[in-house]
Amino acid sequence: MYLEHITSPEDVRALPASALPALAKEIRTGIIESSAVVGGHIGSNLSVVELTIALHRVFTTPRDKVVFDVSHQTYAHKMLTGRASAFLDPARYEEVSGFSSPAESEHDLFAMGHTSTSVSLACGLVTARDLAGEKYDVVAVIGDGSLSGGLAFEGLDNAAELGSGLIIVVNDNEWSIAPNHGGIYRNLAELRATRGASEHNVFRALGLDYRYLENGHDIAALEDALRDLRGTDRPVVLHIHTKKGQGFAPAEADPESWHHAVPFDLATGEPTGASSGEDYAQITAAYLSERMAADKSVVTVSAATPYIMGFTPELRERAGAQFVDVGIAEEHAVTYVTGLARGGARPVLGIYGTFLQRAYDELWHDLCLNAVPAVILVFGASAFGTTDATHLGFYDIAMLGDMPGLPYLAPTCREEYLDMLDWALVQTNGPVAIRVPVASVESRPDFERVESYSSGSEVVRRGSEVALLALGDLFPLGEKIADTLAASGIRATLVNPRLATTVNESLLGRLAARHRVIVTLEDGILDGGFGERCARALATDSVRVLCYGLPRAFPDRYDPTELLASCGMTVEGVVADVKRLITR
C-alpha cells in the first residue's frame, strides 16, 4: 500500500507515475470506507482524487498555495498531507475534520465550509504575494456548484482586474448538491460539449484565460495541464470535467443522495443508522405539497438544498413551477422571494440558518424594508444542528434579531409548527421566519390553535417564585427543570415564548411582579439573544434574570448536550442556580 507511506506531498512527488492509479484507488477506498462509518461528503471528494494527486505533484505546498472551495474536496488532500491514517484506521476516523483546517496542517490555508469563497481568498493571497515581491503559485479549486454563488463571481471579476498570476481550477462534475440551476451551467455544458471551444465562454468574457481538459480523471493529463500553467503571470481558468462519485457505483448513479452520506453499508449503500422516524423535513414537504396543490400562488423556494425541507425529486416534479431551486445563491433567494411576494405570490423559502447568513443584507434591505409577506423556514438553527465550526446553527436568533418587522417564531412541537405555518401563509403584515425544530419531533395532541403569532407567549404552567422561559428546542428542558423544581416544592411558571427575537413586555412585567427569578433558556448565542432582550426589558426591575445560552465562539465538532452542559444548561445545573438565587 502506497498511502500508508505518504507522510507529506514530497512522498507523492517521489512516486513513479506507474504507481499513481493504485494510489488513486487507495484514496478512493479510504474515502468510501471512512465515510461508510462516520459519514461524509462523498461524491465531490471522489471526483477530485486524480486532480489532488496531480496538484501535489506539480505544486509544492505550503510554499505554493492551494485553496479548496467549501472543503468538500479535501479528503484526498488530507490523505496526501500527512493525515492518511485518519482515513485508513477506523480507530482514527474522527481525528480530522471534514473541512479544511489550518489547525490540522500547514497545507490547509483556511478553515471553511461555506461555498464560493476560494477565488476571493486566492485573490488576497495573490496580492499579498505581489506586494511582498515573492514568487509562488496560487491555485483555487472550485466546484461547478459553487459558481452560482455571487461571491464566486465577485472573485472571478476581481481576479481578472488584478491580472496577476492565479490558477483557478473549475472542477466540473455537473452537479451542485442537487442538480445545478442557473445560466452559467448551460455555458459549462456548452463548453464541455465543444471541448472548451464554444465562443460563449463566461470566463473569457470576464477577461480570464481559459483551458479545457475533458478527462479530469487522467492524472498524466492533469499534471501536464497544471505544469503548463505553473508560474503563470495571468489569471487562468483550467476547466476540468470529472464525475461526481467517480469509482463508487451508488454515488455515480445518484449524485444528489450521495452528496453527503450518513453512515452506510458498504455492500448495499443503505444507511446503517436506525431510521429516526418522522422528521421536520418530511413534515414540511407534506404540508407544503398539499398547500401548493390547493393554492397556486404558493411557491416553495430553495437555494440548492431541497432535501432539508423534504423535497425529493418526486415532490419537486409534482410541484412543477411552484418549486423553484435557484441554486447556491442565498442572496438571490431572499431578494427573489421579496419580488415574488410583491408580485402577489406567497413564497416560502426553506434554508439552513448558517447559509442564510449570506443573505443578511437582503433580509434587511429587501425583505424587511419592503415588509412583504414571505415565509422563511430556517433549518438546522439549533445547537442540535450541524456541529462543525463552519456550519454552526445557533447564531440565527442574534442574526434575525437585527431585522425590523420580522417575527421569528420558535415552535415547540409539530402541531405548533404547522399552526405557525398556516398563520404565516395567510397573514399579510410582512415577512415571517420560523425556526424549524431540530432536536426532536415533539407532539402535543392537546395543542390549541392560535389566532395570531405576531405577539404573545404561552404560559404553559402557572407557579410562583421562578418563571422559566424555554425557547423552541429547549422547551422539553424547561419542562424537566420545572418538574425537578416541583419535586423540591418550588412551583415554577413555565412559558413557551414563541417569539425568539421579540420580548413580550407586558407578560414580562406580570412575571416580574409575581416571581423572584426569571430564567431564559435558548440554544442560541447569549450575545444578542432572546435572554438578553428579557434582561434589558427587566433591567430597572428588582427581579433577577438568569440567562442561559451559548458562547459567541466557534466550537468545532462539539457534542450538543456537552456544549449545553458547559453553559450550565442541565436540569441539575439550572435547578441549583435557581435555588441559590431564591434563597439568597
Looking at residues 156 to 195 of the shown chain, list those that interact with a copy of itself (rule: CB under 8 A).
156-162, 181-187
Looking at residues 506 to 525 of the shown chain, list those that interact with a copy of itself (rule: CB under 8 A).
525
- Rounded to a whole number of angstroms, the minimum distance from the CB of residue 260 to a copy of itself is 18
538 binds a copy of itself, rule: CB under 8 A? yes
241 binds a copy of itself, rule: CB under 8 A? no
- Rounded to a whole number of angstroms, the minimum distance from the CB of residue 347 to a copy of itself is 8
What are the residues whose beta carbons fall under 8 Å from the beta carbon of 451, sequence distance 6 or more? none
Helices (H), 343-413: 353-356, 360-361, 369-370, 396-400
304 binds a copy of itself, rule: CB under 8 A? no
> Do the Cβ atoms of 567 and 477 come closer than 8 Å?
no
Q: Which single residue is written with the C-alpha cell 465550509?
A: 113
* E-state strands within 272-420: 298-302, 323-325, 346-352, 375-379, 408-409
472 binds a copy of itself, rule: CB under 8 A? no
424 binds a copy of itself, rule: CB under 8 A? no
124 binds a copy of itself, rule: CB under 8 A? yes
> Do the Cβ atoms of 138 and 126 come closer than 8 Å?
yes
Interacting residue with a copy of itself among 240, 340, 474, 521 (CB under 8 A): 340
What are the residues whose beta carbons fall under 8 Å from the beta carbon of 342, sequence distance 6 or more? 370, 372
- Rounded to a whole number of angstroms, the minimum distance from the CB of residue 441 to a copy of itself is 29
135 binds a copy of itself, rule: CB under 8 A? no
533 binds a copy of itself, rule: CB under 8 A? yes
231 binds a copy of itself, rule: CB under 8 A? no
Closer to a copy of itself by CB, 88 or 406: give it: 406
- Rounded to a whole number of angstroms, the minimum distance from the CB of residue 522 to a copy of itself is 12
294 binds a copy of itself, rule: CB under 8 A? no
- Rounded to a whole number of angstroms, the minimum distance from the CB of residue 402 to a copy of itself is 5
Cβ of 80: how many Cβ atoms within 10 Å? Answer: 26
The C-alpha atoms of residue 242 and residue 40 are separated, in whole angstroms, by 19
Question: What is the contact mask toward a copy of itself in residues 476 to 505, using x (rule: CB under 8 A)?
Answer: -------------------------x----
Q: What is the dihedral of CA 301, 302, 307, 308, to 10 degrees?
A: -100
Interacting residue with a copy of itself among 18, 277, 539, 583 (CB under 8 A): 539
> Residue 249 corresponds to which cell in the numbers above?
457505483
The C-alpha atoms of residue 470 and residue 504 are separated, in whole angstroms, by 14
- Rounded to a whole number of angstroms, the minimum distance from the CB of residue 359 to a copy of itself is 8
Task: Of 248, 242, 236, 199, give the one whose Cα is nearest residue 219.
Answer: 242
Interacting residue with a copy of itself among 61, 171, 390, 412 (CB under 8 A): 390
> Do the Cβ atoms of 292 and 299 come closer than 8 Å?
yes
Question: What is the contact mask toward a copy of itself in residues 73 to 102, using x (rule: CB under 8 A)?
Answer: -----------------------------x
Please count the residues of the chain: 584
Closer to a copy of itself by CB, 273 or 404: give it: 404
Task: Of 340, 328, 256, give the one whose Cα is nearest residue 300.
Answer: 340
> Residue 417 corresponds to which cell in the numbers above?
409548527
Looking at residues 392 to 411 of the shown chain, list those that interact with a copy of itself (rule: CB under 8 A).
395, 398-399, 401-405
* E-state strands within 127-252: 138-143, 166-172, 209-213, 235-241
553 binds a copy of itself, rule: CB under 8 A? yes
The C-alpha atoms of residue 404 and residue 218 are separated, in whole angstroms, by 54
> Do the Cβ atoms of 206 and 156 come closer than 8 Å?
yes
Q: Which stretch binds a copy of itself (CB under 8 A): 14-22, 211-219, 360-368, 457-465?
A: 360-368
232 binds a copy of itself, rule: CB under 8 A? no
128 binds a copy of itself, rule: CB under 8 A? yes
574 binds a copy of itself, rule: CB under 8 A? no
